[in-house]
Chain A
Amino acid sequence: MAKLWSAKEKNKFYLPGEEIKVKKDFVFSGFNIEKDPLSGCKNRMLLAISAFVLVYAVIALRTLGLCISGFAPNHDDEEKELPQIKIENPITRADITDRNGAIIATSLPTANLYAHPRKVRDKEKVAAKLSEYIPDMLYEDILAQLEKNSNFVYIKRNLSLAQRYQIYALGIQGLGFEDMEKRVYPQKTLFSHIIGKTNIDNIGISGLERELNNRLTSSDVPLRLTIDSGIQDTIRRKLQAAVDKFHAKGAAAILMDVNNGEIIAMLSLPDFDPNLNVTPDAKAQFNFATKGLYEPGSVFKVFNAAMGLESGKVKLSDRFDATKPLKLKHNVIKDYRGKNKWLDLQEILIYSSNIGSAQIALKVGKEEQQKFLRRLGLFTPIDSFEVTEKAAPGIPRRWGESTTATVAYGYGLSVTPLHIISAFAAVVNGGIYHAPTLIKGQHDEGKRVLSEKTSATMRKLLRGVVTKGSGRRANVPGYEVAGKTGTANKLVNGKYIDKKVMTSFVATFPVSHPQYAFLMMMDEPQPSKETLNFVTAGWNTVPAAGEIIAAIAPQLNIKANYDLDENRERLIEAAYRQ
């Protein structure tokens, strides 16, 4: 190095380091690639670089992996659905609507307020605040809940969403909400017996809510009934008025479409408000229309007369001796205010003769009677009907001669109003029995139980009862009502009591082409001056039913038939002839 330096200095002056630039052939002495002193560093550098690159590559690859697969590694096996807009009903129990789509029962989203009492500080203050926003709870009650020595208490169930937001905004520690839904019946008492109610866990406990619980929880499509709210309301108002007027213990009414068995209205009084949490008393909860078994009395004469005609053993022109009581082996059959003369079939129905009806039944015979009544569905419970409260008819175990005779006029056998109206509809609609139903579009095909001819004759006979007999007060002009009344004494301690009666009226209108059947019954209507101290159906149930029919027939879109009198008679005759 020193030698080199000295050699250069000989020739020229160099600035320090200049010789490296100038001398192209200059090399550091002893430098070569193989023995590069930096090569060791280079290798170590490479190692470090690759280590860093590796680390970053791993991070990058992991990032990529995460970006592609998402952050939850456990969901590999299940099919991941594409994110999409979900229009899901948060309400799990389906609505119930009437035939026109008006809501009868619906579920509202609510919230349950709970607390972890151990986490709540300053309990008095919290209770005071809460009682401001929950007006139906007392400060003391809330405080008592909060001071319970437990981890979890419900303070209030079913708060409205507005209340929920208000309380949430208070920001109290230790409180929480739980999503709930509550069943609400906006029409209050109007459908109480049909719909029934649900318990606190939203499970149906009575009526349709219980019978169709599975349907209501499995699909959120509203369940459409055959009921018409408007008509139901009209009938309820009039029925309530009748109950008040005659001081009856209860009443029931059913309106049915005779051509397919759809129930348009069904009521039982007294009723209850299913919105309230209190358990209604047994009487109010009892659905008389579907579960009330009673001896129907003279209403049964309709079926008896139809049976006589259908069997061919009784003709319209046959006359029966009703001049004296009918003596059987065990009992004597008498008439209520009897006419004491020979009666034909029309007169038996008009004057409601027990003696005549019993004679028809005896003429037809026990076997055929049982077969006929069974065919009309009067011996079996109506299982297909969509409420829980149903009853099996009370049929006498021994069916002797006297049973045959008493059943002819509706004693000794008990059925529900629903049984009567279904059978009655079959008698007047041309002889087809349809099982009653509450669900729109679910009616059955129907089965023939009676010939069309018998049905046409029965319509004529029943029209006679309303124009000339005990049903006079229900003869609504224009709507051609035809029906049969019935008054049955109640059996108290094994004895029939005169003044305690069940009065019924079953009718169809318009009789020339029946569309609807209507049944109304009252439990123990009281005699009054207006009814001339009578308690029979003709004085209480029939006028009330007439009022109801007059009110609902225009609503049902039935054209009134106001032809000139003789014209009308001719038209009706033509309809009967078929």
Chain B
Amino acid sequence: MNTTKSAAICLWTALTVLTAVIFATFIMKNRVQDLEKELAQINHNINEDIKTIHILKAEWSHLNNPDRLRSLAQKHIDLKPVKAEQIINYAALPFNYEPDRKMLARQNLNNIAARNKELRRLAKAQR
């Protein structure tokens, strides 16, 4: 009598546990499937976006066609291609900036010295 009873209890417990496990797995599986569906959708969207980016890039380069840019520039801005004569080396300029630079440097040094002096005076006063 006792053995039958405990065996039955064991059986029922095992069945319950099994059912619970199965149910949990089933739920989990279901959720995973949902997530996978979502993932597939996301991947699909990424794919579409890449395609769109591709098309937009092509369109951008089409709009940046030098021919088109030139006609637009001629229409809207008053600029012309740079000519060789418009570019010049600094060294090639017929002016001598050297004395000016020296003077500026000296002035700069004087300023720094004056500021240092002032700072030292302030520090002393604080002490």
Interface residues of A (CB under 8 A from B): 53, 57, 60-61, 63-64, 66-68, 83-91, 102-104, 106-109, 161, 184, 186-188, 190, 229-230, 233-234, 476-479, 550-551, 553-555, 559-564, 567
Contacts and interface: CB of A to CB of B under 8 A. Distances in A.
A175 to B, nearest CB: 21
Contacts of A84: 39
Contacts of B47: 88, 90
Contact of B84 (A83, A550, A564): A550
B71 to A, nearest CB: 12
B81 to A, nearest CB: 6
B7 interface: no
B82 A563 contact: no
Given A83-B39, A106-B58, A108-B54, A479 B84 contact: yes
Contacts of A102: 61, 64
B79 interface: no
A229 B18 contact: no
A229 B92 CA distance: 31
A481 to B, nearest CB: 10
B116 interface: no
A89 B50 contact: yes
Contacts of A562: 85, 88-89, 92
A109 B62 contact: no
Kindly list the 4 A-B residue pairs having the minimum CB-CB distance in the complex, ordered from nearest: A233-B66, A103-B61, A186-B62, A67-B29
Given A67-B26, A233-B66, A554-B82, A109 B87 contact: no
B25 A53 contact: no
Chain A contact surface mostly: mixed
Given A57-B18, A553-B84, A560 B66 contact: no
Nearest to A107: B54
Given A64-B22, A103-B60, A233-B66, 8 more contacts: A67-B29, A85-B39, A90-B51, A103-B57, A108-B55, A478-B84, A560-B87, A563-B91
B89 A561 contact: yes
A64 B28 CA distance: 11
Nearest to A231: B66
A66 B89 CA distance: 79
B67 interface: yes
A180 to B, nearest CB: 12
A554 B22 contact: no
A103 B25 CA distance: 52
B22 A230 contact: no
Interface residues of B, number: 41
B3 interface: no
Contacts of B36: 83
B61 A187 contact: yes
A60 B84 contact: no
A405 to B, nearest CB: 40
B112 interface: no
Contacts of B51: 90-91, 109, 161
A164 B35 CA distance: 29
A550 B39 contact: no
A108 to B, nearest CB: 6
A266 to B, nearest CB: 16
Contacts of A187: 61, 65-66
B61 to A, nearest CB: 4
A164 to B, nearest CB: 11
Contacts of A553: 84
A554 B54 CA distance: 33
B73 interface: no
B29 to A, nearest CB: 4
A194 to B, nearest CB: 15
| Most chain B CB atoms below 10 A, which of A67, A88, A563 | A67
Contacts of B55: 108-109, 161
A68 to B, nearest CB: 7
B94 interface: yes
A114 B116 CA distance: 85
Contact of B85 (A63, A90, A230, A477): A477
A534 to B, nearest CB: 26
B87 to A, nearest CB: 5
Nearest to B40: A83
A441 B43 CA distance: 34
A478 B86 CA distance: 10
A87 B61 CA distance: 23
A104 B62 CA distance: 9
B127 interface: no
Contacts of A479: 84
A561 B87 CA distance: 9
Contacts of B104: none
A89 B62 CA distance: 21
A63 B29 CA distance: 10
18 contacts: A64-B21, A64-B25, A85-B42, A87-B46, A90-B47, A90-B50, A103-B57, A106-B54, A106-B57, A108-B54, A108-B58, A161-B51, A161-B55, A187-B61, A190-B66, A230-B66, A478-B84, A564-B92
